[in-house]
Each structure stands twice: as C-alpha cells, then as structure tokens.
Structure 1
Amino acid sequence: MIKIINKEALDELSEVLGKGIYEGYTVERIQREAPDFHFYLKENHEVLACCSIWIHTNMIDEKGVRAGAIGHFEACNEDSAKIVLMEACNKLKEVGEAYVIGPIDGSTWNSYRLVTHSDGSMPFLMEPKYKPGYSQWLENVGFKPTYQYFSTKETIKSIVKDTKKDSQNEITESKLEQSEIESIELDQSINGNQELLEIKPIKLAQLEEALDKIYEISIQSFKSNLFYKPIEREAFKAMYRGYQQFLVEELVLIAEKAGRPVGFIFAVPNYFDQTRRSVIIKTIAVLPEYQQEGIGKKLYQEITNKALNLGFTEFITALIYKGNHSQKLCESAKMMREYTLFRKELKV
C-alpha cells in the first residue's frame, strides 16, 4: 500500500522513522528539509521504499529551467523502488514540472547525489553514503546520470612540493562547485594587491560570529552555482553547528581585507579514518568581486601549512563538480570517488 503524506502532516511519519530503511531519519530532519509530499510503500507492517518530492523549487539548471526534486529515497528492493519513484514522478508531472533531479533532499545544502564509482577507500566524514543498486533502480525508471562530481586524495607533502615549483607570476583561475552543500568558488589568480589581506583561524569560543561571516560569503559566492537555492541564516548556522565537535580552529580560516570578510576555507579532520591523519577540504569560497586577487590560493596554501604542522598527512578534496576549472587543482591527486545526480524529463 502506497501512502502519501503532504507537508502539513509530516509528523505522522514518527511511527516509522528511525527503523528499517528509515534509519537515521527523524521527524525534525524531515520537517526541516520540508518536502511538499512524502511517499512510502508499506507491506505487512514493514516499509519497503520511500521518497519525498519538492515542487516549484527555486533550483535552476544550466539553461535556467526550474527543477522538481526527489529525495529521501530509500528502498530495500528494485520492485519497491520502482513503485514509489513512479508515483512520485507522476505527481511531479501532474503539478507541471518539466523535469526532476535526484536524489536531492530539497536543496544542495542538504544530502544529495549517489556514489557511482569508488577506488575502495574508506568513506569519509560528510560524504554521501554508498547505496548498492540505487543508481540502477533510478535508471530503470527513466532517470539518466547527468551531473557528475568527484573527490580526490593527495599527500600534503606532495602539495607542498608542487607549490614550491609554481612561479609567483603564474596566473591561474580555478572554480570549485559543491552544494552543500556544497558549491565552491576558488580563484587562484595572483596580483600585487595582497598587502591588506589577513588570514586568521576561527575561535571556537566565538563560533557564532565566525558562522555569520561564513554565511555572508557563502550566499554571495554560491548564488550562480548549479541548482543553488537560498538558505536562511539560522538554518545555515544550525547546519554548520552540527560540525562543531569535529572542528579544529586552525583548519577553518577566514580571509579579510580592511576588516571585511572576503573568503574562507572550511576543513575538518576525517574522523572516519584517524590512522591516516587525513583532512577533508569541504569548502573554499571567495566573494565574487575579490576573485581576481589570489585569495583562494592563499587560503589553500595557508591551510596546507597548518595541516602539515598539525601532523596531518593527506588532503581529501571533496565533492567537486566535473567540468569546472577546479580540476586543475587536483591534477596530481588520485580520484577516489565519483558521484552522480540523476535527471528525468517529465514532459515529452
């Protein structure tokens, strides 16, 4: 039996959340991510598959067309997955959506994408979980793998070695995208106007102030990214507060010019793999009007030195959108994981 719950009645899910395929889900999370409808297939008191949809979103593709979204997708087998996915797609088509992307839990600030290739390395903190079979189940109901992302790993010593080889007169522009995220913009160009730039680590005792600065930079830096959707300040800060237990002050740096925050780099130790002493580069962002001043490169160099001094040995550069100039940043790194966001056309 398929049950459909609208956004006004999401608290009804409390009976099933946290069990079976809903492991890790809470009413608070579902309500925060605010789907318009949630679908689940139940048989003999067991939920076999579920998903949520978001309609009339503000997420825009590369051609300026609005996306519908499917997320909170979980299933225990292909047949059950097909039933809930088709029901959800029919609803999206009914309300006039031209296409749907997924899996994405409402926006790129939340969980999205599937792992579609791996070198076998351990999962890292904040990475999408590997879900065997899910990508094929999506393709079997008409979704096509459309948007690709990747993560790389590289020893910090090799980065330091490569940095020393770079000419100070070289001008390189790079851009990282993520959403959560995770979209990132990084400019590596260099000019002579560096004297007023200050790069400082955050103070955990003043985390709220630091998060305000990071928020202001993020909403300006990411707004032109694929499927960007605005986020309220408090929701953004609540999301980042969730990482507080993992933060090391020296690994979250804010760049300022004349007292104005103009860029930041956000990294955390990979607590899933403590023996490797790896650091995850989650976000680098620079305000658009400052992206020709080498601030992104300065932030990256500074965090490289700090990570090395703290005894870390490896960088994981996480969730980069394929096709961007940011791939130059990772040319010498080893690709460890690939991820895909799928798309299905709803109007023929």
Structure 2
Amino acid sequence: MTTQPEIHRDVPAWKDMRTAAIGTGAFADAESGAFYLQETCETLRAEGFEAVVGPMDGSTWGTYRLQTWSDGSPAFLMEPAGGPDDLRAYEQAGFEIAELHVSATATPGSRGFEDKVPGVSVENWNGKDPEALLAGAHALVMEGFRSTPFFTPVPQTMFLERYGPLLAHADPRFILRAVDKDGTLCGLTLAFPDPMRQGAIVLKTYVGTVPGAGRAMADRIHALSGELGFSEVVHALMRSGIASEAQSRKFGGTVFRRYALMGRLL
C-alpha cells in the first residue's frame, strides 16, 4: 500500500445505516488494496457498523471520490487523484458505486442566460472584505447543500478557514454574487484560473436560492472567460443526476472525467 488511508467513524449515514468511511490514499496494487479493505470491513463490522463508504475523508468537506474513467486530459486543481488500482481494489473487496460524479469542459462565451432571470443581477466581487463575502456565502451553502448526501453543516469559522486561502489568491472577477431587487444576496459563485490545466477556468462552486441565479452566474463566468482569452471552462466535480449536471449540458459541457464514491453494506 502506497498511502495508508485513515478510518473515519463519525460520518453521515449511508442508506440510513451506521456508516464508517475509509479515507483517501493510493494502493500499491489492486490485490493488496482489496485485502486491506476486506480486513477493514471485518473490523468495522465487529464494531457494530452496518455500512462502509470510501474513499472519503470524513465528509464532503474533505477529499473524496476516486476516478472511474478519464479521456486522458490534464488534471485540474483540487481534483481527486488516488492511485490507478484503487477502483479495482474496491471492486474486488465487494464495494459498489454509491454515488457518481463527473467533470465536464465547455467552450467560453455567453449563452445569453444572464439577462433571463427577472429581478436578479450578477456582480463581481470587489476584492475587499473577504470575511464579509464568505459570511454571506456560508448561509447560502449550508442551505443549498443541506439535502446533499454526506454533506455535514459546519460553523462559519471553519467555512472561513477553508475558503479564505482560496480567496486570498483569487481573481475577484471570477468571484460572483447574485442579488435580488432588494439587494439581498441570493447566489454565489467561486471560479478561478487553473495553474495545472493551462488555459482553463475552473467553475468550482455555485449556489443560488432563486431559480436561475446559478445559471446567470455561470453565464457571466463563461462570458468573461471568452473575453479574457481562456480556452475552456471546467465544470468541476458535479454529482450525477442533480441540477449542476443538467446546467452543464445547457452550456454544451462534454464530460472528460468520471468519479465514484464506493459503498459496501456489512
């Protein structure tokens, strides 16, 4: 085994069962990885757990998922990596896919969506007072993702600690707020130029409380990417079957990577 995964025993339930998670790592080969996973499952069963998922470092706030398919294109910043034999190790240990996720790429340029949400306007962050920006975003994210499997609410202080460093190096033009006619925050988007996948803007997170707000912000990101000469917009790490994947298709997104969170009943 190349990297010993950590075992997390306090994680959100899967299928309403007492669940543990096997953290991220990289197995030296499928056989040794499967042996480790089997032994770990036996240990957790003896402790009274009913299900195991992995790889996941505790919750969706940590690194999770493994790659199941790739078109061979370069990685992007914050993309799950792992080892080439991890998927086979999980499969040989009796795990099945618990969740599917995808990343897609789309060409820059507006699709004309920004002006089609009445009462909502999109504005760029001015680069000032990042704590105030993130404080407003915290409430949006906690509400917008609360029904997402394995999502765990976190206090505002932890949210600021996680996203503060990202904002410190961000291009404010790609940090967007959506506000309603009263000036109330109703959406936030975090995107950034990628230092690994050259020429790409990564659309990492967007959330909106008003229908269409997310699409309007995404349209601004695509428009700005074209204006500034970027070659692609990466729609990063979308859970299959939810709104973000459908939105990606509206922008002509083409999937270039697939990922899975694996699960096993004990």
Normalising by structure 1, we get a TM-score of 0.69
- 1:217-228 aligned within 5 A: 217-228=140-151
User: Per-residue deviation at 1:114?
Assistant: 0.5
Q: Which runs of 5+ in 2 are unaligned?
A: none
- Helix, strand or coil for the counterpart of 2:26? strand
Q: Give the aligned residue type for 1:199.
A: V
Change over 3 Å in CA distance of 1:308–1:66 after alignment to 2: farther
User: Per-residue deviation at 1:155?
Assistant: 1.0
- Helix, strand or coil for the counterpart of 1:230? coil
Q: Which of 93, 98, 105 is the equivalent residue of 2:57?
A: 105
Alpha-carbon separation, structure 1, partners of 2:28 and 2:46: 27
Alpha-carbon separation, structure 2, partners of 1:311 and 1:191: 27
- 1:109-120 aligned within 5 A: 109-120=61-72
Q: What are the superposed Cα offsets for residues 101-157 of structure 1, whole Å, 9 maximum, x if unpaired?
A: 100000101110001111010001111115201110111111112311111111113
User: Per-residue deviation at 1:79?
Assistant: 4.4
Matched, 1:313 2:231: yes
RMSD: 2.2
Q: Which of 143, 146, 170 is the equivalent residue of 1:247?
A: 170
- Helix, strand or coil for the counterpart of 2:25? strand
CA contact (8 A) 1:246 1:268 kept: no
Aligned to 1:206: 129
Matched, 1:269 2:187: no
Alpha-carbon separation, structure 2, partners of 1:203 and 1:88: 49
Give the structure with higher Rg (CA). Answer: 1
- 1:75-90 aligned within 5 A: 75-90=27-42
- 1:48-197 aligned within 5 A: 49-57=3-11, 59-61=12-14, 63-157=15-109, 160=110, 163-164=111-112, 192=118, 194=119, 197=120
Q: Which of 207, 211, 215 is the equivalent residue of 1:297?
A: 215
Q: Which runs of 5+ in 1 are unaligned?
A: 1-46, 169-189
Alpha-carbon separation, structure 2, partners of 1:49 and 1:313: 35
Alpha-carbon separation, structure 2, partners of 1:246 and 1:130: 26
User: Per-residue deviation at 1:262?
Assistant: 1.4
- Helix, strand or coil for the counterpart of 1:128? coil
- How many matched pairs? 262
Normalising by structure 2, we get a TM-score of 0.89
Matched, 1:283 2:235: no
Aligned to 2:159: 236
Identity fraction in percent: 27
- Helix, strand or coil for the counterpart of 2:4? strand
